[in-house]
Amino acid sequence: RCLKIAHNKVLEASIAENKASLKRTHTEVWSDSPNPHDRKRIDSCPVGLKNVGNTCWFSAVIQSLFNLLEFQRLVLNYSPPARVHDLPRNQKEHRNLPFMQELRNLFSLMVGSKRKYVDPSRAVEILKDAFKSSESQQDVSEFTHKLLDWLEDAFQMKAEEDREGEKPKNPMVELFYGRFLAVGVLEGKKFENTEMFGQYPLQVNGFKDLHECLEAAMIEGEIESLHSAENSARSGQEHWFTELPPVLTFELSRFEFNQALGRPEKIHNKLEFPSMLYMDRYMDRNREITRIKREEIRRLKEHLTLLQQRLERYLSYGSGPKRFPLADVLQYAMEFASSKPVCTSPVEDIDSSAPPGGTTGQHSGPASGPTTAPTAAQQQRVPIHKPFTQSRLPPDLPMHPAPRHITEEELRVLEGCLHRWRSEVENDTRDLQGSITRIHRTIELMYSDKSMMQVPYRLHAVLVHEGQANAGHYWAYIYDPHQRCWMKYNDISVTKSSWEELVRDSFGGYRNASAYCLMYINDKKPFLIEEEFDKETGQILSGMDKLPADLKLYVKEDNELFDKEIEEWDILQARKAQQEKLALATAAAAAASAASSTSTSSSSPHTPSIPPPDLVTEDECPGQHTVEVAIPNVGTFVIESEEGGYDDEAMMTPNMQGIIMAIGKSSCVYEKNGPEAAFFKAIKLEYARLLRFAQEDTSPENDYRLQHIIVYFIQNQAPRKILERTLLTQFADRNLAFDERYLIKSYLVTSVSLYQMWHQDYRNFRETTVFMTTGLELFQKANYVEALMYLIYSYQYNKELLSKGLYRGHDEELLGHYRRECLLKLNEQAAAMFESGEEPDVSTGLGIMNELVVPCIPLLLAHDIEGDLLAVEDMRNRWCSYLGQEMESNLQEKLTDFLPKLLDCSTEIKSFHDPPKLPAYSTLELCERFSRIMSALGRVHADGR
């Protein structure tokens, strides 16, 4: 049956998605950007597909098919059978036709949507429903084949209706299916069978390139009897293509079953494939010439093997375990013979009979004459090795070995022989290498003549799998013929790529990524990728013009919804901007009024005074007293005080100390010019002090922003009125009740929303600092489980602060480093627990991964930071390495269930913990703790750890 390929589940095992993973319903916290402009399609860039729960396989396959424009046209212009209601109401028709409609809807959005990426949930759910009756895990290839099966069924129903009485043509079959002739011998009897094929499976193990895989796939068993007159009992067959489909798809079988472990394993070997593939050598019409060339290649390879064996003897000479190039051996011998002869033995200066601790005996050379025989006592002495003394060579002994005796004649003859032999060996080695290179080149060019380059297929798409046999992530590289470049389709992300990047990720041997499917298209059939033309105008149809009427309406409605979302967002932002604009205008007017009052205060005869205590009236709020004080040309102040005494901690903060100092310095002005002048003098002194702090370059541990909100506002260029009002409120602090001249709080005509916004930003900064400080303290104590959430939220909140300005938050690299390190530490702990094999530890380790590490991985993948990407790769590799190890079946089951979650590369956050509860830090305590932890981190980095 068309598009139903025999599929070996064991050899083709890939990512397992059980029922639980298909039904994830976690709430998304940081998923789609709330700003629809971030989700807006830029010009005519390709549309991505949202990963709706381990559906990267769906995205890779659909994008590859969608970018086959002929396939795209077939899907978009599909219409269900007119008599669909008369068809038997079986499960297939209730499933295939709805799926076909959802696929049309999805394709139409991919053509004309204004969104950067679209949601394929409806089509995916129909596919997944087909497997709900099964309790076993399903793999990706089953979903892929099911998708193609349903497409064929849908088009078959339509074809049968359109061609009543005729043999219907199924466009899916015409596009993806070809035929081959199986020629062979079975138990001595010859046979020929024609068979249909779709996705052609190729084994990878043991081959270096695609042609070697194809050659092996075209020949099965022993086929010598095909070419001989004798009738043997051997069996075998050859495959010859009689008809190739326009779209030629190869499934690369990178999975094999490990009998010892009882599970599939992935093959990571490197396998090269060309961007242009010529299929002539596999065609039935070229059967005879191909057989001749194959025989010639076989003969050349046999000769090549002999030459390589001979070369190996030259390059690895010797009979022992250690071997060396023969030319080098001859060179070493020549160097030895040419060394200066010596007459001294390297051990003659060591007297083994000398008593312990005594001196060595006299040196005796060859000409020293007979020596006295040793006594019995001397014979019984045990020689003592004295390193660095007795083993020291005499000054006249050379450091390298040299001949004892060699005459000039001997040296001349030996050097002549060695020179000649070495030259002969080098020439032979070069000849062998040259012959090997020529044979390789001959084999490479065997099919390069024009007659064998008439069936060109160009690489259209490469579907890549990263991971192991039981778990992984999928994406696709697809060639864009109009831009003449490769595009990488990775779920919602669609980016320009290159052949070099494709090679790195697809050939294998690099990380755990490699191609599992290659899609080639007939280069002589441009209609496969050509745009459609308008029959009347001759113009290329693009965008919405491609779509039939019903899909135009569908896309138009979706675009209107998106436009409405953008419009509502813009209105909201415009309203906020208008409020801020009005607030700034009001603040500017108030500032001008305040400036005017300052310039006239010295000549004003009116000097306000603080009302005496008997004028203070109690309001409706018990425990709090207020008095209004009018200052000319400035505004109305409200004195606020609370019963209950003073806050000693607040009195000791740098903030309060500065205000008290300013009050003290302005006391003389108070005596001379009254309270108003003294008040403004104190404010001016305090502002000048804080301005100096804001302009200082300080160490990370001495952050003045934490000590005073005004420093934070100055560094972030807050409006002047916000600075003025905030400064005034400092003098209304109840801790200043010892000097009621300055206990006032300003309620000038200032935008409440703008004032609240800036103070809320500062509260967010302090909150982020508390998260950061607490997280780093816990990290320093190796309490990584508790530290993680503080570091995660501090990084996220800090990033939001920094998006408003450079000085709104803390060092992003520092927080990113410790967030990453905390995850790596937790991964290491969890892996060690899993390795123990003990049930409680295994459950705890997997719990750490599922509840803490896995939800955080998308955060590391979101911004393509190199350190974060490498950390994720390290964590995944650690767990993938367990797949090749022996372990109990229950551990294997848990690992197989866990790995898909770890290897899912979606950058969307589907679930996350609530922020941890913040400890209550006073300003003084927060500054001290922040300074302490930053100093400790500074020492760590200074030590290089």
Tokens matching residue 540: 């290329």
Give the Cα separation of 745 and 517 in Å (integer). 72
Query: Tell me, what amino acid is at 478?
Result: I
Dihedrals phi, psi of 435, to nearest 5 degrees: -65, -40
The DSSP 8-state label assigned to residue 912 in this structure reads: -
Pairs from 596-600 (Cβ < 8 Å, separation ≥ 24) = 596/633, 597/631, 597/632, 597/633, 597/634, 598/680, 600/633
CA dihedral 70, 71, 77, 78 (to 10 degrees): 140
Helix intervals (H) in 319-358: 326-338
Q: Are 853 and 830 in contact (CB under 8 A)?
A: yes
Tokens matching residue 945: 């750890």
Tokens 């003389």 identify what position? 668
Give the Cα separation of 683 and 720 in Å (integer). 14
Give Cβ neighbours of residue 670 (< 8 Å, ≥ 6 apart): 677, 678, 741
**In angstroms, what is the C-alpha Rg of the chain?**
42
Tokens matching residue 516: 């599992």
Give Cβ neighbours of residue 43 (< 8 Å, ≥ 6 apart): none
Give Cβ neighbours of residue 706 (< 8 Å, ≥ 6 apart): 766, 769, 923, 926, 927, 930
Per DSSP, the chain holds a count of helices (H) and strands (E) of: 29, 22
Q: Calculate the CA 605 to chain-centre distance.
A: 73
Neighbours of 227 (CB within 10 A): 8
Give the Cα separation of 654 and 511 in Å (integer). 54
Helix intervals (H) in 67-200: 69-76, 91-112, 121-129, 140-162, 171-176
Tokens matching residue 577: 């901007």
The DSSP 8-state label assigned to residue 195 in this structure reads: E
Tokens matching residue 727: 């400064």
C-alpha distance from residue 134 to each of 17, 18, 19, 138, 376 (Å): 12, 10, 9, 9, 93
Give the Cα separation of 782 and 768 in Å (integer). 21
Q: Among all residues, which ones are annotated catalytic? A: 56, 465, 473
Q: Which of 88, 83, 132, 126 is nearest to 105 (CA)?
A: 126
According to DSSP, the residues that pair with 512 across neighbouring strands are none
According to DSSP, the residues that pair with 517 across neighbouring strands are 251, 463
DSSP letter string over 817-869? HHHHHHHHHHHHHHHHHHHH--HHHHHHHHHHIIIIIHHHHHHHHTTT-HHHH
Length of the chain: 945
